[in-house]
Amino acid sequence: MRVAGSITELRQLRRDLQGSIGFVPTMGALHAGHLSLVEAARECDHVVVSIFVNPSQFAATEDLSKYPRDLPRDLDMLRTAGVDLVFTPTPEMMYPPGYQTWVDVEHVSQGLEGQRRPGHFRGVATVVAGLFNLVQPDFAYFGQKDAQQVAVIKQMARDLKFPLEIIVIPTMRESGGLAMSSRNVYLSPDERRAAGVISWALRAISTAWDDGEREPARLRELGLAVLVTEPSGQVEYLSFADPDTLRERQTASDDPCLVSLTVRFGATRLLDNMLLPASLNTREGLTSTLGVSPSG
Ligand code: AMP
């Protein structure tokens, strides 16, 4: 495994890679969820991973300075996972003095996380566009965990004509159902146990859908009824949206639906989602249902 610590090195090492390239952008503090993306990317001739805690996607009030970082451990994990090339730029490399170009994906960035984290997806789309230009992958792998991010990146890649395909990998969970996240280290043991309620709520909603319930208001009530059983969690939102446009669904429909929610435990915001019907939460279902379809 080669490690490129600068843009010059990355360009050199990338030139040496022949054949198809699978790319997994990350912010490090790696866990099994990240590794499932790497594993999927091994279908390509070469796997490139970036580790970059992107300052422009954090608001001033957010956790940029305390975001978990452990590069030696991350590199060990990636070496074992069979990665060919890791790119570890610094903020100064990605945003040198005088940097002034931003990628703003207008509509799908607006609701859900975009509404609660203004500027977040502008930072994400900008850094991913830069990384796509540097790595020039054929396939880029993203996690369902950040479903709105998938929709934003798909839209950006299509609008800016990046010659690549976006693949979406299902969310990896802890044994108690909690979606794996680098931020789970912020949780106390009690909070971690309590946070299992998020996946129970999703499961209850999915069961109701299987039983024929389609009314968003009714499905929301059912989900909230589960979430309130854990009073230490503060629900920020529980959304039922169109998985393509991310617009909130107002009326009953048999069309696939993206259920997403954010629950706060102490100072930690936990994000999760699932597609309905539940049979769509596979690589194939997610890749074809979340965000703009490849044909437009
Ligand atoms: P991050 O390091 O948080 O920026 O995440 C890097 C990539 O890993 C993103 O595409 C995430 O959606 C994905 N990811 C994060 N958590 C998980 C998870 N639990 N299961 C699958 N993919 C994940």
Identify the three-state secondary structure at position 213.
Answer: coil
What's the pTM? 0.97
Non-local CB neighbours of 82 within 8 Å, separated by 6+ positions = 38, 42, 47
**Distance of CA 276 from the midpoint of ligand 1 (Å):** 20
What pLDDT does residue 296 have?
46
Catalytic sites, residue numbers? 34
d(C-alpha 265, C-alpha 263), whole Å: 7
Residues 86 and 164 grouped into a single domain: yes
Tell me, what's the pLDDT at 293?
A: 62
Ligand 1 lined by 146 (C-beta under 6 Å): yes
At 67-96, the pLDDT tens digits run 999 999 999 999 999 999 999 999 999 999
Is 151 domain-assigned? yes
SS3 category, 292: coil
Assess whether 107 and 27 both reside in one domain.
yes
Same domain, 96 and 221: no
Distance CA 33, CA 48 (A): 16
Reported as a single tens digit per residue, the pLDDT across 133-156 is 999 999 999 999 999 999 999 999
Residues 275 and 159 both lie in one domain: no
For residue 258, pLDDT over 60 is answered with: yes
Query: What pLDDT sits at residue 136?
Result: 98
Give backbone dihedrals phi and psi of 96, rounded to 5 degrees, phi first: -65, 165
Rounded Cα gap, residues 256 and 233, in angstroms: 28
Please indicate, yes or no, whether residues 9 and 137 belong to a single structural domain of this protein: yes
pLDDT at 292 (0 to 100): 83
Tell whether the model's pLDDT for residue 245 goes beyond 70: yes
- The model's pLDDT over 153-170, given as tens digits with 9 standing for 90+, comes to 999 999 999 999 999 999
19 and 161 housed in the same domain: yes
Where is the domain boundary, 171, 190, 209?
171
How does 95-131 read in b/e, with b if 16+ C-beta sit within 10 Å? Answer: beeeeeeebebeebbebbbbeebebbbbbbbbbbbbb
Measured from the Cα of 27, ligand 1's closest atom is: 2
- Cα(220) to ligand 1 centroid in Å equals 26
My answer on whether 79 and 102 are in the same domain is yes
Residue 96 makes CB contacts below 8 A (sequence gap 6+) with: none
Cβ(143) to ligand 1 under 6 A? Answer: yes
**pLDDT (average), residues 38-56:** 98
Q: Do 195 and 217 belong to one domain?
A: yes
| Of the candidates 7, 2, 21, the residue with the CA atom closest to the CA atom of residue 137 | 21
**Which atom of ligand 1 sits closest to the CA of residue 142?**
10
Place of tokens 């509509």: 107
Tens of pLDDT along 190-242? 999 999 999 999 999 999 999 999 999 999 999 999 999 999 999 999 999 99
Measured from the CA of 146, which atom of ligand 1 is nearest? 12
Report CA(217)–ligand 1 centroid distance (Å).
29
> Residue 141 falls within a domain, yes or no?
yes
Ligand 1, residue 36: give the atom nearest the CA.
21
Q: Is 27 in the pocket of ligand 1 (CB under 6 A)?
A: yes
CB atoms within 10 A of CB 193: 14
Does any ligand 1 atom lie closer than 6 A to the CB of residue 169? yes
User: Span 49-54, mean pLDDT?
Assistant: 98
Please tell me the distance between residue 142's alpha carbon and the centre of ligand 1 in angstroms. 7
Decide if 23 is inside a domain: yes
Structural domain including 70 reads 2-171
